[in-house]
């Protein structure tokens, strides 16, 4: 009698095989998981934030359940937020999570990031288009001009910020590079958009290599896979912070693309981290989508002692 004549036994054997495969995958995943969450790289660099516990974590309204990008606003306890469905911007209080202002600027599209330079606001679409509007006090509905770039949906652009060191916008794609090559297939480029002539740099200004990140985290030559979802420039040190939801990682690099510090983010706090920004005082804000719950914004107050050590 064959196994085909014993369907119950065959089902048990198949189930057992699935369990063994799942268990084996779990063991491999566990053994490759790093034991640490904090990875200081540059001995002369003092990371200015305590990621063991944010100073403040607030829930945001349901309209921001899919919060996808942050930019600094006029007060140190306020940020400008965008979500990835509606053509709206929200001024959020980071102490309460409440919306202070709501600004409409365009049609419903896949918006992924936001940056600000004075009264000029730049909203990044997934296909690389930038929607530019000029803020005016007391106004709620704005007309936005569209600035086209060389990016497309294949790049999946999610991160944008102002670089105060140059006055340009920095954009980081989540997926394919602008000019992919086999030599750089594990590198994530950060591209500059010149606001003076609305031109996107053909080659990245900065980059992060997954093999270099993996060597830092695992202590051996290994790739740490991640997909950037947010970017910000530290106003105090001018270092560049790259956030990734896929990979749950925050990477700090210097102006020559050298890695200075790495943080692995806690799943229980950041289920899907996508937005990152600083206020003028140098405090750090990270937003995370809700995944069935409310989205959140976490505040990390700057360690003043470490700031002095970096100057």
Helices (H), 33-92: none
The Cα 148–Cα 124 span in angstroms is 10
Choose among 269, 243, 264: nearest CA to 174: 243
Mean pLDDT, range 217-239, rounded to an integer: 97
Q: What percent of the chain has pLDDT over 70?
A: 87
Would the pLDDT of 173 be above 70?
yes
Q: Could you tell me the pLDDT band of residue 305, with boundaries at 50, 70 and 90? A: low
pLDDT, tens only, 5-57: 555 554 555 444 544 444 443 433 333 467 789 999 999 999 999 999 999 99
Tell me what pLDDT residue 8 has. Answer: 56
In order of their start, the domains of the chain are: 40-310 (2.120.10.30)
* Residue 172 neighbours by CB under 8 Å, 6+ apart: 157, 158, 159, 160, 188, 189, 190, 191, 228, 231, 242
pLDDT tens sequence across 187-215: 999 999 999 999 999 999 999 999 999 99
pLDDT value for 31? 39
Name the percent of the chain in helix, strand, coil, to the closest 5: 15, 40, 45
């Amino acid at each position: 009698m064959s196994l085909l004549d014993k369907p119950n036994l065959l089902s048990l054997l198949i189930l057992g095989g699935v369990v063994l495969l799942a268990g084996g995958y779990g063991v491999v995943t566990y053994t490759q998981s790093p034991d640490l969450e904090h990875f200081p790289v540059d001995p002369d660099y003092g990371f200015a934030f305590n990621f063991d516990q944010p100073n403040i974590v607030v829930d945001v309204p349901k309209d921001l359940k899919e919060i996808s990008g942050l930019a600094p606003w006029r007060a140190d306890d306020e940020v400008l937020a965008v979500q990835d469905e509606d053509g709206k911007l929200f001024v959020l209080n980071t102490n309460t999570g409440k919306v202070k202002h709501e600004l409409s600027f365009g049609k419903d599209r896949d918006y992924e990031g936001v940056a600000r330079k004075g009264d000029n606001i730049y909203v990044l679409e997934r296909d690389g288009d930038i929607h530019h509007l000029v803020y005016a006090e007391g106004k709620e509905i704005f007309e936005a001009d569209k600035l086209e770039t060389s990016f497309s949906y294949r790049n999946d652009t999610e991160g944008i910020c102002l670089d105060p060191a140059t006055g340009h916008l920095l954009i980081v794609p989540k997926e394919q590079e602008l000019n992919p090559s086999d030599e750089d297939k594990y590198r994530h480029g950060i591209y500059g958009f010149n606001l003076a002539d609305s031109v996107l740099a053909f080659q990245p200004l900065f980059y992060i290599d997954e093999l270099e990140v993996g060597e830092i985290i695992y202590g051996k030559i290994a790739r740490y896979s991640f997909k950037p979802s947010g970017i910000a420039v530290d106003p105090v040190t001018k270092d560049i912070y790259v956030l990734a939801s896929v990979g749950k990682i925050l990477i700090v690099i210097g102006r020559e693309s050298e890695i200075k510090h790495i943080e692995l983010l806690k799943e229980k706090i950041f289920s899907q981290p996508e937005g990152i920004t600083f206020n003028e005082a140098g405090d750090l804000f990270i937003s995370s989508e809700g995944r069935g719950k409310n989205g959140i914004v976490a505040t990390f107050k700057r360690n003043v002692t470490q700031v002095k050590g970096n100057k």
